[in-house]
Amino acid sequence: MRKCLSFLILWCFPLLAGWNEDFDAESYRLVQLFPEFKKGWYPEYYDFFSKIRKSLLEDSALCKRYKESTREDKFQICDKSRGVVIKKRLRQRIQELYVWELSCILGTSDFVVPSFPVEIEGTKVVLQVIEEFAIGRGEKKIPPLSFVEKVPLVDYWKSHLMAYILGLGDLVGINIGVNTFGKIRFFDTESCLHYQNEPSLSEKYFKTGFVMESFEWPHYREPLSTFDAYMIGEFIRSLAYFEEKLSSYTACRSISLGEGIHYRLDRIRSFPLQAGKSFRDFYGFLFPRMNEGLDELNALVTKITKRQVDHGAAILFASRRQERYKMSKTNRQMLQEWIDTYVGGHL
């Protein structure tokens, strides 16, 4: 290992027992089981976060703020001097850590902003590294095309397959970054792992787990070359190793992934991947019933919003964003009929 990890020192020479020390002990066991955590950026980031944690625990003003906050408070602090964003989540959720670590096992950590949990005055918060990247802004929630066009098609597939596997459920445009090197960076991955694997009706509109603003990118419909299809195939074959290691990971971190993740892995492996296929084909394969009406939905949402949309924006509009627009009674009725036909048809 290139450098000694702070958490190894803490585990071998424990301070007073507490949640942070227990977390380091878990991490030590994780490193013993997985070679992925002994190489790459994981050791460096863990060491970086451990040092930040020490400085935060010694920050009396910050500790006072967290001590006085309630369990329901949700806020974040952009601490540029330390190089991290400090996030306090509802119910003290630390799921972003699990996404980062599972992405390391998947071999897709290049697409996830590193995250680390810390307990401050009895409150668990999440640290994320501050990075420079472009995100979607305004009405059209995708990064500038000058950034998007740098993203290789293989990266698009691998990052989106990872998002599907890990059940990332809130990948709207402001949670998907692209840096100047054309690398996709997912952040704010708090909504994850427990997933809506099939579209279903809800009290308001409908729910579907896998939908992303990046379905608006040109990559969504771009056909795979023979070489790209081979590279994606290699990644899919590697999923057997990932699935084999899940029980060991959950034993260390004491989290439940449920059976849904195995269902999603099986769906990916069942897709007839070959040159010429697009990610749009894969999405249609996942949801064949809803797929029949997606282009119809595009046309309807394009008419309502007065801007050209693809499946990402169209599904997000129909499932989450209708209340943001003043629609005619006719358009609202047409949307409801679409939901009844192509989502209600699942029931």
**Last residue in a domain, options 70, 104, 129:** 129
> Residue 244 class from Cβ within 10 Å (0-12 exposed, 13-18 middle, 19+ buried)?
exposed
Q: Which structural domain, as residue segments, surrounds residue 32?
A: 6-129
Report if residue 315 sits inside a domain: no
CB neighbours of 276 closer than 8 A, spacing ≥ 6? 223, 224
Res 203: pLDDT: 79
Q: Based on the domain organization, do 118 and 194 belong to the same domain? A: no
Q: Based on the domain organization, do 79 and 188 belong to the same domain? A: no
Report if residue 313 sits inside a domain: no
N-term to C-term CA, the chain: 53
Angle between the 60-68 and 42-57 helix axes, to the nearest 10 degrees?
Answer: 80
Task: Report the predicted TM-score, pTM, of the whole model to 2 decimal places.
Answer: 0.91
Report if residue 334 sits inside a domain: no
Res 9: pLDDT: 45
Res 346: pLDDT: 45
Beta strands 123-129; 84-88: pairing state? antiparallel
CA distance 109 to 125: 21
Tokens representing residue 38 in the block: 């002994």
Q: Based on the domain organization, do 239 and 108 belong to the same domain? A: no
Tokens representing residue 5 in the block: 């990890």
Cα-to-chain-centroid distance, residue 296: 28
CA distance 63 to 41: 29
Q: Based on the domain organization, do 95 and 172 belong to the same domain? A: no
Q: Based on the domain organization, do 221 and 125 belong to the same domain? A: no
Structurally, the chain folds into a number of domains equal to: 2
Res 345: pLDDT: 56
Report if residue 138 sits inside a domain: no
Res 75: pLDDT: 80
Q: Based on the domain organization, do 89 and 194 belong to the same domain? A: no
Q: In a structure prediction context, what are the per-residue pLDDT tens digits for the chain, which is 347 residues long?
A: 444 454 454 444 444 459 999 999 999 999 999 999 998 789 999 999 999 999 999 999 989 888 888 777 788 899 999 999 999 887 788 999 999 999 999 999 999 999 999 999 988 999 999 999 988 876 667 888 899 999 999 999 999 999 999 999 877 767 899 999 999 999 888 888 878 888 888 878 888 889 988 999 999 999 999 999 999 999 999 999 999 999 999 999 988 888 899 999 999 999 999 999 999 999 999 999 999 999 999 999 999 999 999 999 999 999 888 887 788 999 999 999 999 999 985 44
Report if residue 327 sits inside a domain: no
Cα-to-chain-centroid distance, residue 323: 25
Q: Based on the domain organization, do 67 and 166 belong to the same domain? A: no
Q: Based on the domain organization, do 209 and 249 belong to the same domain? A: yes
Q: Based on the domain organization, do 149 and 41 belong to the same domain? A: no
Report if residue 220 sits inside a domain: yes
Q: Based on the domain organization, do 153 and 118 belong to the same domain? A: no
